[in-house]
Structure 1
C-alpha cells in the first residue's frame, strides 16, 4: 500500500510504501537511521541489520543525501518523534542516486543558499516556512468566503500607477506604455461598486531600490475593498482577518512552528480588538522615547514602527497620517483635514507594516482636485472618476503584504525566506 509521511499515522502496525528522498542519515554497525522526506513531512526510517537482507542494509548505509527512494516497512508508534511514529524499514528501492549534493548539513552562507534556492527549499526549516505560508493563504480564502467577499482578479499590466509613484516597472504594451501592477486597488474599487465586498490575491511589483529585510521587488498582496464601509468598519474587518489567520496557523501548523522555534505565546495574544494610536500621538510618544529625528509630516522608518509596536506587544493600528505623505485617493479626516482616514497595521517584534488601508474619497470634485495636485494623467483615471459619477458611496479597503506576514508569524528574520523564489534588488536567479 502506498501512502505519504503525513498520512502514515493512519497505518500504525501496517506495512506501507512511501516515495521519499533521503534528507540525512546516521548509522552504527547494526542499525541505520534514515531521515526521510516526501514533501508532506519528515519521518525517520529505522533499518536493523538483523531484520533485513544484506543488500538492503548495505543500501541503507551507503545511500547518499537527496537520493530518491521507495521505502517499504511497518509504521510503528514512537513517542520520541515529533510525529509520534516512524517506519521499521523492510526494503529500499533506489530510484535515482544523487551525488555531491551542494547543501550539506554544515553551515552555508546566505548568498550560497540563495544561489541554490531551488534546493534550499528542501530543508526542514524552509519547508516549515512554506507550509505556514500555505496555511495563511488557505485561511485567507476561508475568511473572505465566510464573510461574503467575492474574489476578483485585477490586471497585472496597467496603464497608470495606483499610488501615483515613480517606483514602477515600465514595459511597452504594443504601441502604448504600460506598468507592472503595484496594487489592484483601483480595479477592486470598481468591482466593489458591482459586488459590494471583493478581495484579490496576486503578485505586485515595486521598483524600489531597497535592500532591507522587509522589502522584496515582487511580492504577493491580499487586498479587500468594501462598498458602504467607512474607515472604522474597515479596521474591524482587518483585525478580524489577521486574528483568523494567526489562530489558523496556531491550530494547523503546530509542528512547523516548533521546527522554527517560534515563541507561540506571542501569537496566542493576537485577538481582537487591536490597539490604535493616531499619527499625532505616535509622534509625541516617539519624541518622549528619545527619537528626535522624527517631525510631524514625516513618514515613520523601521525603528519608529518597532518602538511603537513594542509598546503594545500586539499588532497596532497607526491612524490618520498627514495628507501630504499618503496617496491621492484617501478620504480627508473631518476632524483635521491635514490628515486622512487611513491606518497602517504594524506587526509586533520588529516586523513592521503588514497592512495599509484607508477610506477612499467618494466625492468627484475632490478626487479631481487631488489628481490634479499630484500631477497625474487625468485620462488614465477616467474609469476611476466614473465610479464617483455613477452612484458613488462611502467605501474603504486595505492591502496585506503576504511575505511580511509570513515572516512575522513564522518568526524568520528576512522576507527573502518567505517567498519560494524571492526577487531582490540583486537577484533574479534562480
Structure 2
C-alpha cells in the first residue's frame, strides 16, 4: 500500500493508498458520508460507506470534527465532477488528534476575526489557493532569471542608509550606530551588477508608511533585478517579458487555484509582451481629459489616477519619463530633456496599481556628486555607492517588483493582506 499526497493521487488510479490529512468539512446521507479532506497539497473528497467500514466506524466518521487530523486509507477512483478529477473510496481511517471547537467554521466571519486567526485562516480553500499562486510566481521568478543568466544576490536587511533618501524607514540601534530596516536592496544590487553583470534579489523590505489602503503593507517582498550595460529601453523589455512569463506560468500551473478564486481568466490571457507605454506628460493630459482636475504636471499619481490610466488599456501599461523632482536621486535624467528621468512605473490592470518601479541609473560621477549635494547625501554611508561611478562605471538599469501587489492582481484578490502568509499592517503585528 502506497503512502501518498492528494496532489499525487493521479499516479495511483484504482490503487489503495494512505494519506495523512485533516477534515476540512463533511456531510452525510443515509449509509454514506462524504469527508472533505485536505493535506496541504490539495483537497479531495473521501467517500465513506457504512457497509465498507462497519457501523461503529461509520458512526465515528460522521462525528469527526473540523480540522481533526487522521490517516485515511482508500482506493483512488476517477471522478470527473471533482475539480481534482479523483475521489477516495475510504476503507479505513485512524485518528491522530481530534480537534475541538475549531474557531473558523464554514459560516461568514469578519475580516478582523480572520486576521486574528491568520495562523488558522491559511487552511481555508481560498487562502490556500492564494498562497499556491504566490508560490508559483516565486518559482517562475527563479526560473526566468536563472534561465536568462542572472545571479541571485542577497542584499542586507540592516543598512546604514536609505535607498531612496526618504523618512519612511524603521530605525534601530546597531550596537552604538543608527541603522535601518531595508526599504530596497537596489543600491547593493548595483554594486553586484558591476561584479556579475546581471543580478537579482528576492527578499523582505520595510516601509514605515502610515497607510491603510488595500495596496499597502508595512513588510513586503520585492524582486529586484539590476543589469549592467542595459539602458532604459532594454530594461522595459526585460520587465514586460518577466511579467508575461509569471502570468502565463500561473495560468498554466494553477488552474485549480484560479478556479477556486473564481478568477476571470480572459484578462490574464492577454498578458503577453509587448506592453503599451504612455509618457508622464501624456498621462497628465489623459487624466485631465477624463475629468481629473486635481492633478497637475509635477504631481505624483494616486490610486484613482493609476486606475483611470490602466482602464484605458487591456494589458499592464508603462508610464515613463516622470519629472526628476518627484523621483529618486539615482535616476538618470533624459539626455534630451533634463526635467524628466529615464524611468517607468508599470501599472497593473483592474485597479491594482503600480507593481513595478524602475529606471536607468546615473552612471556619471560628476552628476551623481551633484545629486548627493542636492539630497544631502554627503555622509560616509553613501560613499561606497559613489565609488561605483569612479571605478569602471557603465550604463545600467534595474527595477523592483512588489510581490504582494502582483499576487493580488494575478489571483484577483482585493486586498494585499491576503497575499502574504502573515501580514504586517499599520495596526497589526499579530499573529
The runs of 4+ residues in structure 1 deviating greater than 3 Å are none
1:204 aligns to what? Answer: 205
- The CA distance in 1 between the partners of 2:179 and 2:75, in whole Å, is 59
The corresponding residue for 2:428 is 427
CA distance in 2, matches of 1:232, 1:31: 63
Cα offset, 1:10, TM superposition = 0.9
Q: Secondary structure at the match of 1:198?
A: strand
Q: Can you list the C-alpha shifts for 1:111-144, whole angstroms capped at 9, x where unaligned?
A: 0000000000000000000000000000000000
Q: CA deviation at 1:48?
A: 1.1
- Alignment map for 1:17-416 (pairs within 5 Å): 17-416=18-417
Calculate the TM-score normalised by the size of structure 2: 0.99
Give how far 1:59 is off: 1.7
Q: 1:139 is paired with a residue of what secondary structure?
A: helix
| 8 Å Cα contact 1:302/1:352 also seen in 2 | yes
Distance 2:290 2:394 in 1: 41
Offset at 1:335?
2.2
SS at match of 1:211: coil
Q: Deviations over 1:380-422 (max 9, x none)?
A: 1110011000000000000000000000000000000000000
Deviations 1:217-252 (A, max 9, x none): 000000000000000000000000000000000000
Q: Secondary structure at the match of 2:297?
A: coil
CA contact (8 A) 1:371 1:378 kept: no
Q: What is the alpha-carbon distance in structure 2 between the residues aligned to residue 162 and residue 149 of structure 1?
A: 22
Aligned-residue Cα RMSD (Å) equals 0.6
Q: Secondary structure at the match of 1:74?
A: strand
Q: How many residues align?
A: 430
Give the distance between the partners of 1:64 and 1:29, measured in 2 at CA: 19
Q: Deviations over 1:306-348 (max 9, x none)?
A: 0100100210000000011000000001221111000000000
In 1, Cα distance between equivalents of 2:424 and 2:336: 42
Following superposition, the deviation at residue 160 of structure 1 comes to 0.3
Q: Distance in 2 between matches of 1:246 and 1:41?
A: 21
**1:28 shift after superposition:** 1.6
Rounded Cα–Cα distance in structure 2 between residues aligned with 1:210 and 1:391: 41
- Whether the aligned pair in 2 keeps the contact of 1:75 and 1:87 (CA below 8 Å) is yes
SS in 2 for 1:32: strand
Distance 1:371 1:133 in 2: 38
1:172 match: secondary structure: strand
With the length of structure 1 as denominator, give the TM-score of the two structures: 0.99
Q: Which moves more between the two structures, 285-294 or 328-337? A: 328-337
Shift of 1:377: 4.0
Gaps of 5+ in 1: none
Find the aligned partners of 1:345 and 1:59 in 2 and give their Cα distance.
55
Give the 3-state SS of the residue equivalent to 2:65 in structure 1: coil
Q: CA deviation at 1:55?
A: 2.4
Q: Secondary structure at the match of 1:65?
A: coil
Contact (CA 8 Å) 1:59, 1:92: kept in 2 or not?
no
**Cα offsets for 1:354-400 (capped at 9, x unmatched):** 00000000011111111111122432111001100000000000000
Structure 1 CA distance for aligned equivalents of residues 34 and 404 of structure 2: 36
Deviations 1:228-283 (A, max 9, x none): 00000000000000000000000000000000000011000000100000000000
In 2, Cα distance between equivalents of 1:59 and 1:245: 45
Contact 1:372 1:378 in 2 (8 A): no
Please state how far the C-alpha of 1:29 moved relative to its aligned partner.
2.0
Deviation string, structure 1 residues 47-89 (Cα, Å, up to 9, x no partner): 0112222222012100100000100011111111001110000
**What is the CA–CA distance in structure 2 between the aligned matches of 1:59 and 1:69, rounded to whole Å?**
12
State the distance in 2 between where 1:213 and 1:113 align: 16
Q: Distance in 1 between matches of 2:73 and 2:102?
A: 24
